[in-house]
Amino acid sequence: MLDQNKTYLIVGLGLLGGKYAQVLSQKGYRVTGIAHRQSTLDYALRHGYIQSGKTEDFAGLVAEADCVIFGLYPTVLLDWVRQYGALLRPGTLMTDVSGVKRGVVEPVQDLLPEGVEFIASHPMAGRETSGIAHSAEVDFAPANFIITPTPRNTPAGIAWCRELAETLGFRRISELTPAEHDHMIGYVSQLCHAIAVSLMCASDNTELARYTGDSFRDLTRIARINDKMWAELFLWNKDNLISEIDMFTDALLGLRQKLVDDDREGLEEMFRLSTRRREAFDQR
């Protein structure tokens, strides 16, 4: 169990940062927060997600924090650590929620004062909505939590990050290197968003709501997207995403060719393969 005598500072009270604050506060931990907007801070205070917080002049909050959780985009995280990292006390443990790790984890570790440890992690629990007002909708229980340690992390730091995930309610916790994480995320997350966005942008869908069934709704749920965050994540991991788009394109073109060739058996075999793989996925 996490030490309830420690203070947890959430930097960035958005969808996931807000959910972290909500769960930790409900479980009796002392949680403070830093937000960009006063309205966000007011919401967190009003709902009891944090005990105190600021939008500026927050040096005191940083200095008193025992553990820091960053709910920031990668570029904002790096800028924040460059500007305020020196305020962190030795012994402070830190983690994040960022959807990409290469180019983030090691630079952050390089910037930190001696004795401050950053153990990167990624809660795979995002939604198509954003902002703290939607954080209560997030459910950690069925989601995966990925820790992405480097050789500079200590066993104690990694154990703390795992305990944090368990306290938050994640049932499946895994470890990957930052490079392994970004390769994986290019397929299971970013490619899925790219397909959903492309499907919505392929034609004017204005009138389709009258006629579509669950297939179109399910496939395009995540096309309602946070433009700034996902543009940054796509570009940050573009080599992996481009590779996955190429692989998907080859598979789609293969299906197209079966149509051109009237290859019923080829289509049926492709459908059987997809069914087997989905059944195996559902059993895990």
The bridge status of strand 144-147 relative to strand 121-124 is antiparallel
pLDDT digits (tens, 9 = 90+) for 192-211: 999 999 999 988 877 777 77
pTM score of the predicted model: 0.91
Please tell me the total number of residues recorded for the chain in this structure. Answer: 284
Taking the C-alpha atoms of residue 20 and residue 197, their distance in angstroms, rounded to an integer, is: 28
How confident is residue 155, by pLDDT bands cut at 50, 70 and 90? very high
What's the pLDDT score for residue 48? 96
Taking the C-alpha atoms of residue 197 and residue 222, their distance in angstroms, rounded to an integer, is: 8
- What domains, with CATH codes, occur in the chain? 7-176 (3.40.50.720), 181-282 (1.10.3660.10)
Least trusted range by pLDDT, from 60-64, 116-120, 123-127? 123-127
pLDDT digits (tens, 9 = 90+) for 217-240: 888 889 998 899 999 999 999 999
What's the pLDDT score for residue 241? 98
User: Which residues make Cβ contacts (< 8 Å) with residue 111, sequence separation at least 6?
Assistant: 78, 81, 82, 85
